[in-house]
């Protein structure tokens, strides 16, 4: 068929990626209610975040510039640490994203079945992986480099240099991440790989946080803690690793800012990126067909937890048939989804770090007053509240959205919507309540607070946890993401942002309302003044009313909203 | 058993279902036919209580669905066209969960679930996660779930999609036996042969309105179709001429 041979189709990378672009555009242009307000709010928060990062770094760098001799080392060390952080995040993010874009995406059946050249497919999917994994790092990098550029007078060519070094810096982890995933998929089935990766990712992230905390970096801020100045300077001068792209970016940027431009790191970055792309493409050519075929294998066959089913059946029997089955279903879905429960590891790490911080607070010895020891656990409630809000955003907020595809079953059954919300609320709230009370018990014990403060902190954290869970469920139903399959993406949606803003409002409201009676009590203990029962009643009563309202109102709104959902 | 009065559904300015009146008596297997986008799925999802009608009334087994949705849904089972179910439950856990939604459990439900799984050759898969099931197996599991709580009325959207010939035959027999026992089934289908062979009566819907309703003999009369089969009557009543243009398209 010479004629057919002559007209062999060869779809371009831009054609392969066109549906992604059109989908993103359609989503952005969709005529949804409140789109303008949403866009405005997100832009405002984004701009404030940029200004905050920029100002913080700029002030720090200007301070470093004023430090004789050590200043450049400090700035270099700071840039190096940020860049190595970026590189680690990019690598991890690319590994996880590439699993989805190269092996599990819905468009793959169409693309792999179509006459698409393997190199074009690799290029398109690598670009998709890179963009999806890197956009957040790029957004963070903009104010960071802007601060470096303006603090050290980088000139108008500095942004071009940054683009020139940052693009290959993004390419390298994208290629390495995709290649790692490709190898993993060839060893394990794709769906198993997803489970393994989610656990590895969470363990890695948790490990980094834990290690960082145990090292106690705050000691670095005090050079007097080092044996000699030489030792301190040596630590600062040591490059992170001369073979890492982050180090090359650091050297390229610093040499430019110190007016001794060096092109070697730029060459290294571009040549490494090019070589990585070629090697990655070769690996893709060799292994992708086998890996993709393996990825089509179905998921796990056998269910875990038969014993749990029988135990749960007995344990939840007093709830009645409907509630028992709803609770069991929620628990089964949660514990069988590795991507969900693996987050628990990260949560445990966060809690350990949290307790660790409290343990090392310098609250003993001279100058530490009864007032300080008792105010800390009260302020501790704010931090604990934020931790709980983020946990609720991660686990409870997405729960209604995850019902999206199965809503037909729930809506066509005679089950009242309030029962579904009841089950979701208590399945989410109970562990969170145990966690919250556990944190407060342990930290109060470490701080050896008074009985009054102990009672206040326990009651407050319990009410706040219940309210935060109610709000998470309510906001999650009001801003559902029924089409999203990945639960991890749901809390980062606009609704998730609104929930976090509302949570901050609730925590602030509770703390402000309780501040006056707590202050009154501590003053009475310190100066022997009388406490005012009216002040106590009003402060704690209003905080309780706020928490009850924040629990009930969102759930009621969610109930009405869910009853009106048509899917 | 199913009664629709002036049933209408608007999506903005588009009318998907336009003032449908229909009566499906007890013990009847009723077919809902129509081209893509005619309003079949929308109508069935309204009867199942998933979509809320813009106007009109729906009565299921004598219970007004809009006034007493829980009461009406208790008597109803729904089989959707797309088999979306909880991937991380096993087949038997899913059936137990569905029975629980209807406040049913115990040895009777267990026995019924086992029988249904065996009927559709899913017995060996009962303790395996749904995520490992094929499309057809999921469809069979959903069909089983609609029967597990013994409803009086079953609403089915495209029941044969994804089923192998053996499962399709079992389903046909099951539907016949089920209606013979005095229950009612309302189903939409694209397979005209299935409708012709199985349904007691058929309604043909196009652009949200019912164009014809009755037995095959009634439809032939209303379409002045003589001895023509359902396909010709369908094309005549829905105004579809795409099939006739097939040769022209292939030649183009």
Domain membership of residue B6 (yes or no) is yes
Does A566 sit within 8 Å of B100, measured CB to CB?
Answer: no
Based on the fold, state whether residues B104 and B66 are members of the same structural domain.
no
Based on the fold, state whether residues A329 and A353 are members of the same structural domain.
no
Query: Mean pLDDT lowest for which of A248-252, A440-444, A484-488, B90-94?
Result: A484-488
In Å, how far is A419's CA from the nearest CA of chain B?
Answer: 10
Q: At CA A345, angle to CA A85 and CA A426, rounded to 5?
A: 130
Based on the fold, state whether residues A228 and A364 are members of the same structural domain.
no
In Å, how far is A466's CA from the nearest CA of chain B?
Answer: 26
As a whole number, the mean pLDDT across chain A is: 84
Percent over 70 (pLDDT), chain A: 84
Does B104 sit within 8 Å of A337, measured CB to CB?
Answer: no
Does B97 sit within 8 Å of A328, measured CB to CB?
Answer: yes
Domain range for A496 is 345-564
Overall average pLDDT of the B133-155 stretch: 93
Based on the fold, state whether residues B159 and B235 are members of the same structural domain.
yes
Based on the fold, state whether residues A280 and A351 are members of the same structural domain.
no
- Among candidate residues A234, A266, A295, the one where a domain is terminated: A295
Q: What is the dihedral of CA A130, A135, A136, A142, to 10 degrees?
A: 120
Q: Give the pLDDT score at A225.
A: 53
Respond yes or no on whether ipTM tops 0.90. Answer: no
- Among candidate residues A231, A264, A295, the one where a domain is terminated: A295
Based on the fold, state whether residues A320 and A421 are members of the same structural domain.
no
Say which of B78, B93, B128 has its CB closest to residue A412: B78
Q: pLDDT tens across A87-135, in order?
A: 888 888 888 888 888 988 878 888 888 888 899 999 999 999 999 889 8
pLDDT above 90 (res A391): no
Based on the fold, state whether residues A210 and A97 are members of the same structural domain.
yes
> Hey, what are B77's tokens?
């089972």
In Å, how far is B40's CA from the nearest CA of chain A?
Answer: 15
What single string gives the DSSP state of each residue in A4-47? HHHT-----HHHHHHHHHHHHHHHHH---TTHHHHHHHHHHHHH
In Å, how far is B128's CA from the nearest CA of chain A?
Answer: 5
Overall average pLDDT of the A254-264 stretch: 90
Does B87 sit within 8 Å of A299, measured CB to CB?
Answer: yes
Helices (DSSP H) in chain B: which residue ranges? 40-47, 69-74, 91-101, 107-119, 135-147, 165-180, 192-198, 216-222, 230-238, 246-251
Q: How many domains does the structure of chain B reveal?
A: 2
Region of A499 on the Ramachandran plot (φ > 0 left; ψ -120 to 50 alpha; else beta): alpha
Domain range for B205 is 1-75+153-166+181-252
Based on the fold, state whether residues B113 and B206 are members of the same structural domain.
no
Percent over 90 (pLDDT), chain A: 37
Q: To which H or E segment does residue A184 belong?
A: helix A158-187
Strand partners, B23: B3
Q: What is the dihedral of CA A406, A412, A415, A419, to 10 degrees?
A: 40
Name the pLDDT band for B87 (thresholds 50, 70, 90): confident
Q: Give the pLDDT score at A346.
A: 67
Based on the fold, state whether residues B118 and B234 are members of the same structural domain.
no
Domain membership of residue A29 (yes or no) is no
Q: Helix %, strand %, coil % for chain B, to 5?
A: 40, 25, 35
Based on the fold, state whether residues A254 and A319 are members of the same structural domain.
no
Overall average pLDDT of the A251-277 stretch: 94
Name the pLDDT band for A228 (thresholds 50, 70, 90): low
- Edge-to-edge strands, sheet with B2-11: B14-24, B2-11, B55-60, B63-64
Based on the fold, state whether residues A544 and A403 are members of the same structural domain.
yes
Overall average pLDDT of the A278-303 stretch: 81
> Global pTM?
0.77
Based on the fold, state whether residues B95 and B131 are members of the same structural domain.
yes
Does A321 sit within 8 Å of B45, measured CB to CB?
Answer: no
Overall average pLDDT of the B178-198 stretch: 87
Based on the fold, state whether residues A285 and A407 are members of the same structural domain.
no
Q: Give the pLDDT score at A93.
A: 84
Q: How far is CA A124 from CA A10, A150, A410, in A?
A: 13, 36, 39
Based on the fold, state whether residues B159 and B249 are members of the same structural domain.
yes
Domain membership of residue B31 (yes or no) is yes
Based on the fold, state whether residues A325 and A253 are members of the same structural domain.
no
Overall average pLDDT of the A467-492 stretch: 86
Overall average pLDDT of the A1-8 stretch: 56
Based on the fold, state whether residues A139 and A100 are members of the same structural domain.
yes
Domain membership of residue A250 (yes or no) is yes
Contacting residues of B for A411, CB less than 8 Å apart: 48-50
Contacting residues of B for A191, CB less than 8 Å apart: 131
Based on the fold, state whether residues A426 and A491 are members of the same structural domain.
yes
Give the side-chain half-sphere CA count within 13 A for A222: 6
Nearest CA in chain A to B72: A414
Based on the fold, state whether residues B238 and B162 are members of the same structural domain.
yes
């Amino acid at each position: 068929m010479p004629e057919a041979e002559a007209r062999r189709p060869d779809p371009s990378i831009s054609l392969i990626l066109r549906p992604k672009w059109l989908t993103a555009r359609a989503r952005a242009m969709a005529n949804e209610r409140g789109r303008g307000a949403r866009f405005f709010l997100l832009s405002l928060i984004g701009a404030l975040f940029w200004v905050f990062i920029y100002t913080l770094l700029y002030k720090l760098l200007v301070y470093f510039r004023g430090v004789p001799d050590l200043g450049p080392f400090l700035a270099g060390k700071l840039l190096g640490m940020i860049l190595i952080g970026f590189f680690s995040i990019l690598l991890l993010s690319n590994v996880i994203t590439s699993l989805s874009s190269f092996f599990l995406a819905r468009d793959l059946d169409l693309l792999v079945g179509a006459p698409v050249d393997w190199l074009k497919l690799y290029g398109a999917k690598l670009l998709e992986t890179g963009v999806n994994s890197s956009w957040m790092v790029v957004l963070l990098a903009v104010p960071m480099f802007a601060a470096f550029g303006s603090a050290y007078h980088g000139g108008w060519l500095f942004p071009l240099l940054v683009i020139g070094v940052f693009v290959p810096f993004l390419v390298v982890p994208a290629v390495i991440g995709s290649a790692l995933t490709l190898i993993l998929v060839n060893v394990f089935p794709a769906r198993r790989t997803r489970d393994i990766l989610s656990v590895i990712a969470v363990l890695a992230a948790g490990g980094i946080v834990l290690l960082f905390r145990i090292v106690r970096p705050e000691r670095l801020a005090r050079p007097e803690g080092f044996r000699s100045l030489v030792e301190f300077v040596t630590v600062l001068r040591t490059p992170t690793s001369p073979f890492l792209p982050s180090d090359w970016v650091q050297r390229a940027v610093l040499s430019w800012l110190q007016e001794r431009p060096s092109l070697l790191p730029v060459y290294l970055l571009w040549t490494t990126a090019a070589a990585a792309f070629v090697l990655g493409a070769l690996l893709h050519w060799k292994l992708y067909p086998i890996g993709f075929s393996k990825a089509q294998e179905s998921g796990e066959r056998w269910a875990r937890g038969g014993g749990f089913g029988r135990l749960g059946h007995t344990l939840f029997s007093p709830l009645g048939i409907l509630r028992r089955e709803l609770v069991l279903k929620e628990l089964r879905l949660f514990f069988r989804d590795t991507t969900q429960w693996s987050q628990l590891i990260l949560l445990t790490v966060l809690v350990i770090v949290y307790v660790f911080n409290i343990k090392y607070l310098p609250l003993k010895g001279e100058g530490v007053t009864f007032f300080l020891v008792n105010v800390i656990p009260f302020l501790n409630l704010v931090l604990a509240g934020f931790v709980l809000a983020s946990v609720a955003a991660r686990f409870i907020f997405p729960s209604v959205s995850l019902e999206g595809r199965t809503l037909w079953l729930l809506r066509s059954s005679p089950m009242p919507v309030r029962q579904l919300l009841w089950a979701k609320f208590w399945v989410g709230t109970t562990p969170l309540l145990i966690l919250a009370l556990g944190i407060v018990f342990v930290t109060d014990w470490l701080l050896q607070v008074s009985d009054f403060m102990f009672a206040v902190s326990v009651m407050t954290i319990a009410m706040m946890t219940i309210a935060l869970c109610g709000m998470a469920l309510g906001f999650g139903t009001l801003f559902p993401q029924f089409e999203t399959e990945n639960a991890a993406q749901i809390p980062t949606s606009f609704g998730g942002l609104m929930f976090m803003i509302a949570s901050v409002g609730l925590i602030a409201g509770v703390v402000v309302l309780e501040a006056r009676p707590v202050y009154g009590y501590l003053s009475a203990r310190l100066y022997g003044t009388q406490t005012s029962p009216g002040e106590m009643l009003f402060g704690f009563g209003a905080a309780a009313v706020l928490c009850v309202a924040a629990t009930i109102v969102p759930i009621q709104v969610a109930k009405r909203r869910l009853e009106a959902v048509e899917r | 058993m199913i009664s629709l009065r002036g049933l209408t559904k608007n999506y903005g300015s588009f009318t998907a279902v336009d003032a449908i009146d229909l009566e499906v008596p007890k013990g009847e297997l009723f077919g809902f036919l129509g081209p893509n986008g005619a309003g079949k799925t929308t109508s069935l999802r309204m009867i199942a209580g998933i979509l809320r009608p813009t106007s009109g009334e729906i009565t299921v087994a004598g219970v007004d669905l809009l006034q007493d949705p829980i009461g009406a849904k208790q008597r109803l089972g729904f089989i959707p066209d797309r088999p979306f179910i909880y991937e991380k439950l096993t087949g038997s856990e899913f059936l137990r969960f569905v029975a629980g939604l209807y406040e049913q459990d115990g040895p009777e439900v267990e026995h019924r679930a086992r029988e249904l799984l065996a009927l559709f050759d899913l017995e060996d898969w009962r303790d395996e996660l749904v995520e490992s099931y094929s499309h057809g197996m999921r469809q069979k599991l959903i069909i089983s779930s609609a029967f597990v709580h013994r409803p009086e009325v079953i609403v089915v959207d495209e029941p044969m999609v994804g089923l192998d010939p053996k499962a399709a035959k079992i389903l046909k027999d099951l539907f016949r036996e089920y209606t013979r026992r005095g229950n009612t089934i309302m189903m939409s289908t694209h397979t005209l042969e299935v409708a012709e062979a199985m349904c007691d009566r058929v309604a043909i819907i196009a652009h949200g309105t019912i164009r014809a309703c009755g037995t095959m003999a009634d439809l032939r009369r209303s379409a002045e179709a003589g001895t023509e089969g359902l396909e010709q009557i369908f094309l005549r009543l829905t105004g579809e001429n795409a099939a006739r243009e097939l040769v022209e398209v292939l030649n183009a």
